[in-house]
Amino acid sequence: MPEGPEIWRTADTLNDAIQSRKAEQVFFAFDELKEYEDVLQGCTVAGVEPRGKALITSFDNGLNIYSHNQLYGKWMIRSKGEKPETNRSLRLAIHTQDASAFLYSASEIQVLEHHQVEAHSYIKKLGPDVVHPDTTYKEVIDRFNSETFRNRKLTTLLLDPGFLSGIGNYLRSEILFCAGVDPDLKCKDCSSGEIEKLASYSLKLPRRSYQTGGITTEDVLVESLKREGASRKEYRHYVYGRNGKRCYKCGEVIQVVKTGGRKVYYCPTAQK
């Protein structure tokens, strides 16, 4: 499933293609949304905004399309008159005079009035967005220190969008590694220094990934590994997806453990 950085980059791509442009035609695959095709036709796309792992596409008539890609949803952009070659099921299409935005395979699409957006069952529960530039270090460290979250295991907590939104599986492993924190710990088990590092990297790594197109490692390491002929897969992350490989910091072998059915990658020396 795409994480916060990927959702933000998707929003950027959609805004570049359809923002401030009139919707000449809108298509919904779901019968319950068909009535909005004519309502949105001729309206201008005000913008596309990330909300956790969902997107809100706003129109100048006050209506908004809520979409959540879940595991398989994917947006594709094409020039006007072109259509992607894919076997996926088309769920939503917004056609403007210059380009078309196609959403495939997504199962959760709704049309909301302006006042309904913040009250949406998913959006109203979201914690601070770690990619959003207005989210501050103080907000994040206050979440880690909150009595509401102190008794939660970190591996579970970091995937809870009600705690911090935008963190998924690869960012979870990377944050824990960079903070030097044992994946088995709860918030209350961590020292103040560890909490400070967790809060710092919970902002730093998602924003770095957003800026770099999915890379969480530092520029110096990336350039060094590139000179050695490393592939993108090899230099993209510190630990995520690197089970059995050597840790870039200490040389220990990266290990993986399943928790809640999902994999957490860690260095037994740097984090234990």
Residues 6 or more apart in contact with residue 8 via CB below 8 angstroms: 50, 131, 210
Residue 149 forms beta bridges with which residues?
none
Rounded to whole angstroms, the Cα distance separating 38 from 186 reads 51
9 is catalytic: no
3 is catalytic: yes
Which uninterrupted H or E stretch holds 177? Answer: helix 169-179
From 3, 6, 174, 194, the catalytic residue? 3
Rounded to whole angstroms, the Cα distance separating 75 from 158 reads 26
Residue type, 50: P
Structure tokens at 6: 């990927």
The alpha carbon of residue 169 and the mean position of all alpha carbons in its chain are separated, in whole angstroms, by 10
From 226, 245, 262, 272, the catalytic residue? 262
74 is catalytic: no
Count the alpha carbons within 13 Å of 28 in the hemisphere toward its beta carbon: 20
143 is catalytic: no
From 9, 51, 53, 242, the catalytic residue? 53
Catalytic residues: 2-3, 53, 262
